[in-house]
Amino acid sequence: MGAGLYRRTLLTISNNKLVEHLSIRYGRKLASKFIAGDTLEEAMDRTEELNGQGIMVTLDHLGEGIKDLSEAAGYREEYLKIIREIAKRKVNANVSLKPTQFGLALDPEQCYANIRAVVSEAKYSRIFVRLDMEDTPYTQATIDIIRKLHEGWLMNAGTVIQAYLFRSEEDVKALSKEKVNLRLVKGAYKEPAEVAYQNAGQVLDNFKKLIELRLKNGIYTAVASHDDKIINWTKDYAAKNNIQKDTFEFQMLYGLRMSKQAELAQEGYRVRCYVPYGAMWYPYYTRRLAEKPANLMMVLKNMF
């Protein structure tokens, strides 16, 4: 089965309610490979360990697609707690959040107000806030939130651009002019052929094009990938074009390629590990399994 078909099949299966029920009942222990813990305390401990290896962190309190706005208030409070804890423990970390966790699908104005509260609090402690990018119904709305925050002088917020989307080149060009800090990724959702490349090679080519657009403009960029084809290409491009190592960072997910993360940090690259924690682990976990048959095999091996 090709990589694209594998990914789409697993994403479809994981949306099935019975599969979700069985996985939640039996899967939490298996998911612990990718999740730093249930509590902020556990995530902070992991953060200190990673900082000890020269790896920076972005903390994610798991949650997305809330059904009631009162849940968004809970997430907002948890993120305020994370920010105070980062400042108190003086760890090298920032935060990543999902707009639909803050109510984007229910009430965009309230979502903006919730996110603004977090970004304002973070600004006082010089902490950066990343709005993760979800599926295409939310792409423009997420970019709009970032623009509104910047108009209000909250420049410590940025977002993510997905290389699989046709629109991304134009988005990168526009957001680069506006000096928005971006994380570049391949893209983790199931998107139709009308809006997204379905072929892995095309996604890879577009990813490289987006990295080049950013690095040559000197605007701080996170290159988030476990793929050596992306990591090595970025290293070569930076070396050939005298791009300073402090103008970009590599990012990888907690539990994946941890020795590669440490190796890059030892080579003097800025490396940040995305550390998720909390009870709402199921959708995050199934996206990881969909990305790579080897991730699924790793979980199955632990099962038996």
Q: What are the residue numbers of the active site?
A: 132, 183
Torsion of CA 197, 203, 206, 208, to 10 degrees: 180
Q: Which residues from 88-107 bind ligand FDA, rule CB under 6 A? A: none
Cβ contact 131:115 at 8 Å:
yes
Contacts of 102 (CB under 8 A, 6+ apart): 72, 75, 76, 111, 114, 115
**The only residue of 40, 55, 121, 132 in contact with ligand FDA, by rule CB under 6 A:** 132
DSSP three-state, residue 184: strand
Segment interacting with ligand FDA, rule: CB under 6 A, options 10-18, 80-88, 117-125, 248-256: 248-256
Of 25-33, 111-119, 171-179, 225-233, the window that binds ligand FDA (rule: CB under 6 A) is 225-233
Site for ligand FDA in 106-125 (CB under 6 A): none
Contacts of 142 (CB under 8 A, 6+ apart): 99, 104, 131, 133, 134, 159
Q: Per the structure block, which two tokens stand in for 197?
A: 């490349």
Nearer to ligand FDA, 40 or 55 (CB): 55
Helix (H, G, I), strand (E, B) or coil at 254: coil
Piece of the chain touching ligand FDA by CB under 6 A; list 17-25, 41-49, 120-128, 179-187: 179-187
Q: How far is the CB of 70 from ligand FDA (least distance, A)?
A: 25
Residue 211 interacts with ligand FDA (CB under 6 A): yes or no? no
Q: How many residues appear in the chain? A: 304
CB of 260 to ligand FDA, least distance (A): 7
Tokens of 236: 């070569």
**Please, what is the minimum distance in Å from the beta carbon of residue 180 to ligand FDA?**
14
Q: Does 256 bind ligand FDA (CB under 6 A)?
A: yes
Q: Which is nearer to ligand FDA, 68 or 228 (CB)?
A: 228
Pick from 83, 188, 210, 264 the residue near ligand FDA by CB under 6 A.
188
3-state secondary structure of 38: coil
Site residues (CB under 6 A) for ligand FDA, limited to 270-299? 274, 291-292
Amino acid at 27: G
Asked whether 185 and 163 are in contact (CB, 8 A), the reply is yes
Q: What angle do CA 102, 107, 111 make, to 5 degrees?
A: 30
Regarding 227 and contact with ligand FDA (CB under 6 A), the answer is yes
Stretch that binds ligand FDA, among 63-71, 81-89, 117-125, 245-253 (CB under 6 A): 245-253
Task: Copy the structure tokens of residue 152.
Answer: 């209000």
Which of residues 114, 251, 261, 286 is near ligand FDA by CB under 6 A?
Answer: 251
The DSSP code for 160 is E
Q: Does 43 bind ligand FDA (CB under 6 A)?
A: no
- For residue 252, what are the β-bridge partners? 273
Binding site for ligand FDA (CB under 6 A): 132-133, 160, 162, 185-189, 224-228, 230, 251-253, 256-257, 274, 291-292
